[in-house]
C-alpha cells in the first residue's frame, strides 16, 4: 500500500476519532496549557538565523526576520556587490558577484526604537542550509488535497501570523502537483497548479521561498510522475519556475533497483545532486528515504542538505517521541549545510486530507516536540493549516530564544547524556559559549529531572535561564533540578555568554 493511501486512511480515521473525542481527549484543555512566554515585544528585534549562504551568480532572496511595532524600516551596511535591500520590506535580493564571507550590519527601526545585529552571508560552493531550514510543508495537513490556492494562503498566513518575522521562510509543496510529461519530456503540472512560475513569483514577492517534491523513481509516493531518467530536465524546469527547495522521495525507485550495497542507496541522489548543481539556481536538496541504508552516514556525500532519518511522523505521543528520542548518535554526522531530518512538525491543525483536526499531542507534549526538534538541529517545517493558527501554536512556534537554539550558527546538534527511568537529558554547545539543555520526562508520572554539571562537562556556579519562560532562574552549583510533568520538557541555557555580536 502506498504512503499516500496509508496517509489518506489515517487522516480519515483520525478525523472520525476527533469527532468522537472530548476536548480533554484531544489535549485541548485550557488548564493543561504549559507555562510558556506569549507575544512579541513592541520594541524592534532581529530574529532567526545569523548566517545564510548562496552561490555566486545565482539568484538570492532573504527576508530579514524582524518584529516590533511598525512601520519598520531596514538598513544594511556591508552587503556584498550584487545584492540590494528594500528598506520597507527588509527583503534582500540580487546575486552575489564574488565568493567570500561577508558580515553585514543590519538595523531595523520602528516606533519603539531600533535594533541591530550582524548577518553573515557566505558565498561559495555548497553554502546552502548553513542552519536548519525553517518553513512549512503541505503534507501533514493537506496531503493529496493541496492546490495553488492553499499554497498562496499558506504564504499569506506566514506573513500575517508573524512567523516569517521569526525566521520561517520556506513554503513547500509536497506530492500531488504533477500531471504528466509533454512531448519534449518536460514535466507538466496538473489542473490544481495552473502556473507554477506564477506561484513562485507570488511567494517570492513576499520574501519567502518555494519548495517542490519529486522522486528518483518513475512514480511518486502518491502515484504521480517522478523524475527517473529526467533528472537534468526536471532540475532545469524547477530553476525556470523559481523553485528553492526539492524534497526527493525514494518511493518507486525500489522498483528500479533493490538496494543491496551502499552505492545502490546513493546513486539516485548523486544523479539529482549533479543536475541541481548545474541548473543555474540554488535549490536546497532534501533527501527522503526514511533512514534506509543509514543515510545519516552518507547524506552529505551525495549532496544532501538534509535527510530523513525515520518513517513518517503522526500526531501521537508514540510516533513523535519514538522518532525524536531515537536520534541519539546521529548528531555526529550533522552540521552546517547537512542536517538530520526526523520529519515535519505535528502541531496545530493537521489531518493528511481535506478534513483537519487539532494535533492529538497534548499541549505539554507539543512543548516537548519543539524543544527536542530545536535541540536536534532538525528542519523546522510546520505541518499544519497556516490559516488556522491559534494563540498557543503561534506562541509555541515564535519563541525566539527556542528558535535561536535551532538556528545556532555553531551547528552542533544535541546528543543524549543520560537516560534513567524515563528521565532523559540532552545537551548541545552553542556559539556564544553557553550550553542548551533539555530535561525530558518520558514516563507516565510527574518526576524530578536533574541536569548535572559533571555530566555536562562544566563546573562551578552557573547562571540558568528557562527559554520557554524567557526567565533567568538564578545561579546554580553542581546541578539544576526541575519537576517535570509526564511527557513534558524543560529547556534551559546554562552559562554566561562569552561571545556576542
Catalytic residue numbers? 249, 312
How many helices and strands in the chain, by DSSP H and E?
11, 29
Could you tell me the end-to-end alpha-carbon distance of the chain, in angstroms, rounded to an integer? Answer: 52
Strand partners, 491: 438
- Nearest one of 400, 475, 405, 487 to 37, comparing CA atoms: 400
* Helix ranges (DSSP H) in 130-261: 148-160, 196-205, 231-241
List, as one string, the DSSP characters of 20-51. Answer: H--HHHHT--GGG------S--SS-EE-S-SE
Helix (H, G, I), strand (E, B) or coil at 69: coil
Q: To which H or E segment does residue 415 belong?
A: strand 415-420
411 φψ region: left (φ > 0), alpha (ψ -120 to 50), beta (else): left
Q: Is the peptide bond before 136 cis (omega within 30 degrees of 0)?
A: no
Rounded CA separation 467/403 (Å): 10
- At which residue does the C-alpha cell 512567523 appear? 163
Residues 6 or more apart whose Cβ sits within 8 Å of residue 184? none
Rounded CA separation 124/103 (Å): 14
- Nearest one of 472, 405, 460 to 47, comparing CA atoms: 405
Rounded CA separation 214/230 (Å): 11
**Interstrand relation of 471-477 and 380-382 (parallel, antiparallel or unpaired):** unpaired
Strand partners, 437: 427, 492
What is the number of other CB atoms lying within 10 angstroms of the CB of residue 390? Answer: 13
Helix (H, G, I), strand (E, B) or coil at 80: coil
Rounded CA separation 294/333 (Å): 11
Cα–Cα distance list, 87 to 15, 76, 93, 156, 208 (Å): 45, 9, 12, 20, 16
Cα–Cα distance list, 65 to 76, 117, 246, 429 (Å): 13, 11, 23, 24
Do 153 and 192 touch, CB atoms closer than 8 A? no
Helix (H, G, I), strand (E, B) or coil at 380: strand
- Nearest one of 182, 150, 499 to 354, comparing CA atoms: 150
Amino acid at each position: 500500500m502506498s504512503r499516500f493511501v496509508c496517509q489518506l486512511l489515517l487522516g480519515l480515521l483520525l478525523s472520525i476519532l476527533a469527532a468522537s473525542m472530548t476536548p480533554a481527549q484531544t489535549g485541548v484543555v485550557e488548564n493543561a496549557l504549559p507555562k510558556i512566554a506569549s507575544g512579541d515585544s513592541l520594541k524592534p528585534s532581529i530574529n532567526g538565523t545569523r548566517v545564510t549562504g548562496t552561490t555566486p551568480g545565482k539568484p538570492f532572496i532573504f527576508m530579514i526576520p524582524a518584529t516590533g511595532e511598525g512601520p519598520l524600516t531596514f538598513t544594511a551596511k556591508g552587503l556584498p556587490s550584487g545584492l540590494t535591500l528594500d528598506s520597507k520590506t527588509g527583503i534582500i535580493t540580487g546575486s552575489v558577484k564574488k565568493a567570500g564571507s561577508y558580515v553585514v550590519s543590519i538595523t531595523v527601526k520602528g516606533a519603539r526604537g531600533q535594533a541591530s545585529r550582524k548577518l553573515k552571508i557566505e558565498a561559495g560552493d555548497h553554502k546552502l542550509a548553513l542552519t536548519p531550514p525553517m518553513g512549512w510543508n503541505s503534507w501533514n495537513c493537506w496531503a493529496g488535497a493541496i492546490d495553488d490556492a492553499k499554497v498562496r494562503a499558506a504564504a499569506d498566513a506566514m506573513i500575517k501570523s508573524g512567523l516569517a518575522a521569526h525566521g520561517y521562510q520556506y513554503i513547500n509543496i509536497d506530492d500531488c502537483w504533477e500531471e504528466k510529461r509533454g512531448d519534449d519530456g518536460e514535466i507538466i503540472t496538473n489542473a490544481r497548479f495552473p502556473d507554477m512560475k506564477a506561484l513562485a513569483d507570488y511567494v517570492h514577492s513576499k520574501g519567502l521561498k518555494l519548495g517542490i517534491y519529486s522522486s528518483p523513481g518513475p512514480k511518486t509516493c502518491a502515484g504521480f510522475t517522478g523524475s527517473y531518467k529526467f533528472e537534468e530536465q526536471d532540475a532545469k524546469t524547477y530553476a525556470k519556475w523559481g523553485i528553492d527547495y526539492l524534497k526527493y522521495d525514494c518511493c518507486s525507485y525500489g522498483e528500479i533497483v533493490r538496494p543491496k550495497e551502499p552505492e545502490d542507496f546513493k546513486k539516485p541522489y548523486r544523479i539529482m545532486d549533479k543536475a541541481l548543481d548545474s541548473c543555474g539556481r540554488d535549490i536546497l536538496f532534501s533527501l527522503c528515504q526514511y533512514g534506509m541504508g543509514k543515510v545519516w552516514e552518507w547524506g552529505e556525500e551525495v549532496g544532501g542538505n538534509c535527510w530523513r532519518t525515520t518513517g513518517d511522523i503522526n500526531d501521537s505521543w508514540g510516533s513523535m517521541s519514538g522518532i525524536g528520542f531515537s536520534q541519539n548518535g546521529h548528531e555526529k554526522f550533522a552540521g552546517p549545510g547537512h542536517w538530520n531530518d526526523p520529519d515535519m512538525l505535528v502541531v496545530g491543525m493537521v489531518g493528511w486530507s481535506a478534513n483537519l483536526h487539532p494535533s492529538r499531542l497534548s499541549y505539554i507534549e507539543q512543548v516537548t516536540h519543539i524543544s527536542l526538534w530545536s535541540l536536534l538541529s532538525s528542519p523546522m517545517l510546520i505541518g499544519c493549516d497556516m490559516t488556522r493558527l491559534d494563540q498557543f501554536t503561534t506562541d509555541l512556534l515564535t519563541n525566539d530564544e527556542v528558535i535561536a537554539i535551532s538556528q545556532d550558527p555553531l551547528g552542533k546538534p544535541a546528543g543524549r547524556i543520560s537516560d534513567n527511568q524515563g528521565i532523559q537529558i540532552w545537551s548541545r554547545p552553542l556559539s556564544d559559549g553557553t550550553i542548551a539543555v533539555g530535561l525530558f520526562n518520558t514516563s507516565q508520572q510527574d518526576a524530578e529531572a536533574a541536569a548535572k554539571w559533571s555530566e555536562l562537562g562544566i563546573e562551578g556556579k552557573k547562571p540558568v535561564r528557562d527559554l520557554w519562560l524567557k526567565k533567568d532562574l538564578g545561579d546554580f552549583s553542581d546541578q539544576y533540578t526541575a519537576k517535570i510533568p509526564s511527557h513534558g520538557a524543560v529547556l534551559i541555557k546554562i552559562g554566561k555568554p562569552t561571545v556576542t555580536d
